[in-house]
Amino acid sequence: MNKEQPANMDEGLIVFKKIDDGTFGIQGVGLTEGEVVTVSTKSGADREVIVKDIVDDSHGIQTALYEWAPDVDFVPGLAIFKKLDDGTFGIQGLDLTPGESVTVTKKDGSTREVVVDDITDLDENLATATYVHDGTEFGDDGTISFRRLDDGTWGIKGSNLEEGKTVTISKKSGDTTQARVVQILSDNNGTQTASVQPVPEK
């Protein structure tokens, strides 16, 4: 048995574990692809997930990829991250409203605050939406964020944008990058969207 694992893993305990590519998977005994399992988080809360691909099986302990179970116990004001059809990540939750701040539970059980951007799908009151980091788009701090434009390409959203000007853009990862504003596409009470082009590295 892997000495790093708690003894009660033999008793059915399943935990979140960072895997080789830096993402989170789950680890436990007797995992079966396709089954719904309960995963214990460091905070003591339990999460229901679906076992996906088994990526490692060592001494009877399996490590697997997973996705959230479809019957997530959604409550207003809480959301989860969800992969969208275009391959990017959005959020899913009850009664999401563009511009509102919601608490999103990450795969490792931790949480973060984000702001709902555009609603991309609505099933009764369960909404799927794009998002921006809390305070990066709807505040007055001058921060600029990426957003997907109507033609499917990526542009930016912010205030005080000027064509030809190089701006610093906040990415979802928390990092920043620079790009040059090509064309202002819309201006809604000072909140602008624009097309951009990368700034050549010096």
Domains of the chain, by residue range, sit at 7-68, 78-133, 144-198
* Residue 102: Cβ-neighbour burial (10 angstroms; 0-12, 13-18, 19+): buried
Beta bridge partners of 179: 167, 198
> Residue 137 region, left (φ>0) first, then alpha (ψ -120 to 50), else beta?
alpha
Residue 190 phi/psi, 5-degree rounding, is 95, -15
Q: What is d(CA 58, CA 37) in angstroms, rounded to the nearest whole number?
A: 19
Residues 6+ apart with CB under 8 A from 170: 133, 136, 143, 144, 145, 176
Beta bridge partners of 40: 15, 46
Give the closest residue to 70 by CA, choosing from 123, 133, 114, 8: 123
Query: First-to-last CA distance in the chain?
Result: 52
Residue with tokens 């590519």: 21
Model confidence band, residue 135 (pLDDT cutoffs 50, 70, 90) = very low
Residue 82 CB-half CA count within 13 A: 19
**Better pLDDT: 77 or 124:** 124
pTM, rounded to two decimals: 0.39
Q: Considering the chain, what percentage of its residues have pLDDT values greater than 70?
A: 79
pLDDT of residue 94 exceeding 80, the answer is yes
Give the closest residue to 169 by CA, choosing from 185, 183, 155, 182: 155
**Average pLDDT score over the chain:** 77
pLDDT per residue as tens digits for the range 141-152: 567 877 777 776
pLDDT of residue 137 exceeding 80, the answer is no
Q: Considering the chain, what percentage of its residues have pLDDT values greater than 90?
A: 9
pLDDT per residue as tens digits for the range 9-50: 555 788 888 888 788 899 998 888 877 788 887 777 778 788
Radius of gyration of the chain (CA): 20
Give the closest residue to 92 by CA, choosing from 100, 83, 80, 102: 80
